Chains A and B, each alone.
Chain A
Amino acid sequence: MSAITTDLIVNGLARPPKPGRRRTVRCAGIVCALLGLCGGDAALAQTQPAPRRPAPASPSTGIRGFADFGSTTFTAGKSFEAVLGTRTGTIFGGGVEVLLPQRIFVSLRASRFQQQGERVFIFEDQTFDLGIATTVRVTPVEVTAGYRFGPRRWRLVPYAGGGIGWHRFEETSDFAGGDENVDETRRGYHLVAGADVRLARWFGVGGEAQWSTVPDALGEDPNSASAAFDETDLGGVTFRVKFIIGL
């Protein structure tokens, strides 16, 4: 609690300025953040030239939660497109992030992609829909460690990192026998880069891009769409928006 309060004070937002000015400053900060044009408190400095009090030291640790949504384009695009009609889908998730000293952070995220399609037969360049409903669900649980390119007092902080994930792949379909549905978890790896923008005392937003690879998660069954297209990687590229609560 104290850490958050301290940080806000350092950035001047907790200072009781004239009511009208405070609103102006906040709106400018939001616009800058969304456009991605801001460069931390430099922008703030331009719009808020008032002299600062001496900055107390930032706390060395913090924890915050986040929820996110985004769009994933799967590496196994032909397979996803054949069965689900698209190689891109919406993904929802959430997690916690721990801020450590030296601008290091560690996060734990769980997310979910789910979409319905139908089973197919693939012959040469033709895909025949068979009218048998199928549901594909991908649930990655990912641990990410990374570096934040700015002190916590900055309003907008870029970051980058990488990590390991456990990707649960489920595929269920009508008329499936006992062993014909799929429920497997495979390990994968990912790289991530993005930026957080604090919008209020307890709330911020962020934008993030992630590339992940989950090798050999698909294509094992010779009678699968992924085998037909020789696609084995369950990873992909995800662009997401984060909503951060805390810090």
Chain B
Amino acid sequence: MDTFTGARAKAVALSAASALWLATAAAQDGGIAAPYRTMLSQVTAPAIDRGPRDNDAPGPARTSRDRRITRSGNADRPYLSGSVIVKFRPGTSPGAQRAMLALVDGAGTPHLPYADFEIVAIDDDADPEAVARKLSTQPDVAYAQARHLVYPMFVPNDPMYSRQWNYPAIDMERAWDIHRARATDVVVAVLDSGVAYRSALLSFGTVAWGFDAITIFPSLGSIIVPFAAAPDLGGTERFVAPRDFIWNDTLPLDLDGHGTHVTGTIAQTTNNNLGGAGMASNVRIMPVKVIPGYWDQIFGAPFDGTDDVVARGIRYAVDNGAKVINMSIGGPGSAPVVQSAVVYAVSHGVFVVVAAGNGFDLGNPAEGLAEFAPEIDGMVAVGAVGRDLQRAQYSTTGPHVELAAPGGDASRGGTPAGILQQTFDSDMVETYAFGPSRYEAPRFDVFAYEFLQGTSMAAPHVSGFAALLMQQGITDPAAIEAVMKRYATDLGVAGRDGEYGYGLINPRAALRGMGLAK
């Protein structure tokens, strides 16, 4: 590996990307921009599997501070400007709604599907947090909030089952003994950056972009990008009701790799002489794209990953048959719009898993999507442990942490201490990591096994676990949460604590359940 293709270059570029701005913005103000992507072919050449990548150095876990990308250039804010989310109480007349919006110089926008709330346009210069607070004081407003940007919770480090320490660590081999060849009617929705679930050949338009208002990367013009299904995720029949809330269509292709990696931990095909294993290898997957990758933004995707998009993704998943929802995503600030959607999900028998957060080293901030998990029986927030089963150094602590699962920690054990799954070969995706001279169109049909770390990697262990429990017959989300907590292996301070919650998940013990006396 040459000096510039190594991890350092990636780290530099990814850090820089934390301040990335896009030269061409499409405001996400409730309107649906015409997607600038065209399907050229449904079929492409077979995916390329480049095997494990275990020589790349690990990088930091992704947090809210890493991602300050917005179309309107407000790179330092963790939310979109120019709009807020408002939920009016039932029965509030349109006139009363308009009167309240007038208080903040707001205006309604077209109602979006899978939303029980409204997006209200406000002045671009107005502070969405302040506007939301003002609206919240109105008696006919159930809640109002800024449109917080959400982000994935992992970091790519680099390099099959013998390397997947995470499964033996939670006694999965004996759990699989119990659960081999169960039914496949459980659908797990992966609300993430999309999934490499099918092949396609698409053309995209690109924009020039760079750092700090200086264009570094030129437009690549109109480019053709190949996509392929991840070989180790099995056939396309495993995937149901795909939906893309970033491009507003039904093609939630992963342009990042995060969602594909997360999906692998939930459902990688297992015992098939290929690659690695997954927690629940026979479940079906619903790819729901609610966060963009960098390439989505470079290609001009019309929506960004905000709380309201996540909330709509949750409602979509519920309405289309998901039984488990995995959210390896996080965001700053309270998110009642997401909380409301999760309550809707749980009330419809859907179990929800959210990553607890990666910000321990960054002041241990509250995670907006996870902080309300303890209030909802049927939703759990998951912290991460490393290979030594100690809390990963990045894993956020606090009362919202309810369970712990392997998330990897390269600070104690290097790259192999991450979580290994198949996803895109980062060399083929993160071409911006090598500088402008090597900046080129990405390929999403070349795969590798990569070690990643983060509570993003911990959460899918719990989602897979929940899917196994669903298949086992425990269908009540609150009961699933109860069984997970009951059988968790206590770590750290005796009893529940802010680092591990009730402890490390123990799927084997939970799946085996209760006998009369033991």
Contacts and interface: CB of A to CB of B under 8 A. Distances in A.
Interface of A: 76, 79-80, 82-84, 119-124, 126, 128-132, 134, 136, 169, 171, 173-177, 180-182, 184, 217-221, 223-226, 228
Interface in B474-509: 474-476, 478-479, 482-483, 486-487, 509
Nearest to A79: B516
B514 A224 contact: yes
Interface residues of B, number: 24
Given A123-B478, A128-B513, A171-B516, 11 more contacts: A121-B474, A121-B510, A121-B513, A130-B512, A131-B473, A132-B512, A173-B512, A175-B512, A180-B518, A218-B516, A223-B486
Instruction: Give the top 4 A-B pairs by smallest Cβ distance, nearest first.
Output: A123-B479, A130-B513, A119-B513, A221-B518
Interface string B212-223: 000000000000
B177 A134 contact: no
A120 B513 contact: yes
27 contacts: A82-B514, A83-B516, A119-B513, A120-B514, A123-B476, A124-B479, A126-B476, A130-B512, A132-B178, A132-B513, A134-B515, A136-B516, A169-B517, A171-B518, A175-B178, A177-B174, A180-B518, A182-B515, A182-B518, A184-B517, A220-B517, A223-B487, A223-B509, A223-B514, A224-B515, A224-B516, A228-B514
Contacts of B483: 121, 123
A122 B514 contact: yes
Contacts of A84: 516
B517 A182 contact: yes
Contacts of A184: 517
Nearest to A220: B517
Nearest to A74: B516
A180 to B, nearest CB: 7
A171 B473 contact: no
Contacts of B514: 82-83, 119-122, 223-225, 228
B335 to A, nearest CB: 28
A225 B474 contact: no
A120 B513 CA distance: 5
B515 A126 contact: no
B380 to A, nearest CB: 15
Given A128-B474, A129-B473, A131-B472, A119 B177 contact: no
Contacts of A171: 515-518
Contact of A130 (B473, B486, B487, B516): B473
A205 to B, nearest CB: 33
A83 B516 CA distance: 6
B515 A83 contact: yes
B474 A175 contact: no
B456 to A, nearest CB: 28
Nearest to A228: B514
Interface in B442-487: 472-476, 478-479, 482-483, 486-487
Contacts of A224: 514-518
Contacts of A122: 514
B496 to A, nearest CB: 15
A129 B514 CA distance: 10
A128 B516 contact: no
Given A131-B472, A180-B518, A223-B487, A126 B513 contact: no
Given A131-B472, A223-B509, A121 B479 contact: yes
A123 B487 CA distance: 13
B511 A225 contact: no
Residue of B178, B487, B510, B514 ringed by the most chain A CB atoms within 10 A:
B514
Nearest to B475: A128
A132 B487 CA distance: 17
Contacts of B518: 171, 180-182, 221, 223-224
Residue of A136, A217, A224 ringed by the most chain B CB atoms within 10 A:
A224
Residue of A82, A121, A130, A181 ringed by the most chain B CB atoms within 10 A:
A121
A103 to B, nearest CB: 40
